[in-house]
Structure 1
Amino acid sequence: MTVITTPHLNFRGNARAALEFYHSVFGGQLIALTNEDTYSVEIPEEAQQIKFGQVVGENGFQVMAYDVPSSVEYDQGEKSLFVSVRSDSAEEITELWGKLTQGSTIIADLAPSQFSPAYGMLKDAFGVVWVLDVAVAYDQS
């Protein structure tokens, strides 16, 4: 049996733009089904909003997203979650960082830290906070 944990991000009307941006960064397959596609239009103005969306990269990256209907209360919050992207390659993390920083606010520059050869944090243009780092083995002794 295999278990996969995938962040499912909630947006208010801009899930498609977010998914397209993440696809441009991570590559892979983009799926974006609208309320109209899934026959679940409650409010005509929201017919083209995303009911189910995901990006699945060939490198193992996965994220899901949808647009919270205006009939449902929604507050993204300031730091409701962090999406962590880890690799064993500083080169890969640096490349992804360069793409994710476009339109983002840097919280912590990508740089060596006490626990990683490369660690950085940013908030993208969609309000999602990303943490990127090089994963290293932790010595518990």
Structure 2
Amino acid sequence: MSLNAVAHLNFHGQAREALEFYQSVFGGQLTVATYADFGMPAELPGAAHVVFGQVVADNGFRVMAYDVPGEHTPTAPGAPTTRRENGTTITEEPFFLSVRGESIDEVTPVWEGLAEGATVIEEFGPAQWAPAFGMLADRFGVTWIVDVAADHTQA
């Protein structure tokens, strides 16, 4: 038996757009089912919103998302609540999403893709603890850490 923890992101009318964006960055298969697909009359508000969605990529990336039901007006995310001060990460967010690769060449395209329309919190580059590290809040307000696994076998 094996278990996988998968991030499940909650949106207010932006889930399809976010999932399509993540698919453009990570590749993989996009699956989307709407409330209408599950029987909600198509003429009702929110029927076209996502009740279940995911992106699953061969490289191991997987994320799920849906639109919280109810009347919501999609809003652009405000300023990120995460920032760097004096070399320390200060945040009020309950979680970040982390993407870790084995080489800078492997994760650089991920960083560049997520950075489109994002607020960069920490520029992508060498760090004391990793060959490369960066942090940003993407265009949907989700905070991502992109880094390269440190080789701890070398002394």
Under a length normalisation based on structure 2, what TM-score does the superposition of the two structures give?
0.81
Sequence identity percentage: 48
1:13-50 alpha-carbon deviations (Å, 9 max, x no partner): 10000000000000010001100112256x91100000
Aligned length: 136
- 1:1-141, aligned counterparts within 5 Å? 1-40=1-40, 44-70=44-70, 78=81, 79-138=93-152
Partner amino acid for 1:51?
V
Q: Secondary structure at the match of 2:127?
A: coil
Deviation for aligned residue 1:127? 0.6
Is the Cα contact below 8 Å between 2:10 and 2:68 reproduced in 1? Answer: yes
1:55-99 alpha-carbon deviations (Å, 9 max, x no partner): 001100000000011269xxx994232100011121111111011
Structure 2 gap segments, 5+ residues each: 82-92
**Which 4+ stretches in 1 moved above 6 angstroms?**
none
Partner amino acid for 1:47?
A
**Alpha-carbon distance in structure 2 between the residues aligned to 1:10 and 1:87:** 25
**Alpha-carbon distance in structure 1 between the residues aligned to 2:55 and 2:34:** 15
Give the RMSD, CA atoms, in angstroms. 2.2
Higher share of residues assigned strand: 2
Structure 1 gap segments, 5+ residues each: none
**Alpha-carbon distance in structure 1 between the residues aligned to 2:62 and 2:55:** 6
